[in-house]
Amino acid sequence: MTDDPVMTHIGAATELYRAGDVDGARASFAELWRGAVADDDAFHRCVVAHFAADAEPDVEQELAWDRRALEAADEVTEERAQEFHASLDVAGFYPSLHLSLADDLRRVGDDDGARNHLARAQEVLGVLGDDPYGQAVRGVAERLAALYDAERVVTAARVIAAPAATVFELIADPARQPEWDGNDNLAQAADGQRVRAVGDVFTTRLTMGAERENHVVEFEEGRLVAWTPSDPGRTPPPGHLWRWELQPLAPDRDGTARTAVRHTYDWTHLVDEHRFDRARATTAERLMGSLDRLAAAAESA
């Protein structure tokens, strides 16, 4: 590998981000990008954009960087890549670039675009070696494929014109959940059960009169919450899961806050066959019904 000061500076910028200096990292990557553009060096543009995306906290800006990286990769000649590393094939760029775009698009709610880039990544995974890097990239591909390919995972997504904190409060407070339940399955939940951590358990009453204990298994304040419902006292729960993921977006042109929200119903581990018909009836359209009602509640708050 030849000495390459740009690669050294990319590493330094990445370390700034890992150390918590987000603004410093972004400024460094912006300067590196300007230099790569001025030098008309597609290889440097590709690598700078790819690492700049990783250091970008705004998902739409991350998406823009990943698109620049893919565009630049299409311009890199094999000869130029091999100047950096004799064994590097330009084709080795593509699995990671497509997977990065697939994940970005998934987080902003563009499932069609995400599936397209996931499929393109899967087509070229064979160029990767059986080394730690290749194994890591394949692991990302498997994770994304599981989100879209599993018959028992149903998902829907949309952008809501409200701050993430406002949307999250409607989800994390069980007493508010009947307001937006698109399945018309929830009758009520007592006040004072606001979810705050993995391990919390909240109780809801269904429209048919039964009670459910909901065990929180994933939680990140303002960003993520998931729970597994169960009959009271049943251990372990039967094996299905509801998940909500929130991604704050840049404000609209008029300053309106925006949040990309994804709702998932996962019954991969459901083993009670008596519940299968009900699980199959929980379609993406029903999840979107909850999202639309949630949007109406959040946007009017």
Give 39-82 pLDDT, tens digit per residue.
Answer: 988 989 999 999 999 999 888 999 999 999 999 998 887 666 56
Check whether residue 135 and residue 95 sit in a common domain: yes
Check whether residue 107 and residue 168 sit in a common domain: no
Q: Measuring CA to CA, which residue among 42, 27, 48, 60 is closest to residue 247?
A: 60
Check whether residue 130 and residue 22 sit in a common domain: yes
CA distances (Å), 249 to each of 234, 236, 273, in order? 39, 37, 40
Structural domain boundaries, residue 68: 5-151
- Return the pLDDT at 278: 83
Q: How far apart are CA 228 and CA 284, in angstroms?
A: 18
The string of pLDDT tens digits covering residues 227-280 is 999 888 877 777 889 999 999 999 988 999 999 999 999 998 776 767 888 888
Question: What pTM was estimated for this model as a whole?
Answer: 0.65
Tally of domains within the chain: 2
Check whether residue 116 and residue 253 sit in a common domain: no
Q: How far apart are the first and last CA of the chain?
A: 57
Boundary residue ending a domain (98, 122, 151): 151
Check whether residue 163 and residue 272 sit in a common domain: yes
Where residue 34 sits, what CATH number does that domain have?
1.25.40.10
Backbone phi and psi for residue 227, each to the nearest 5 degrees, phi listed first: -145, 155
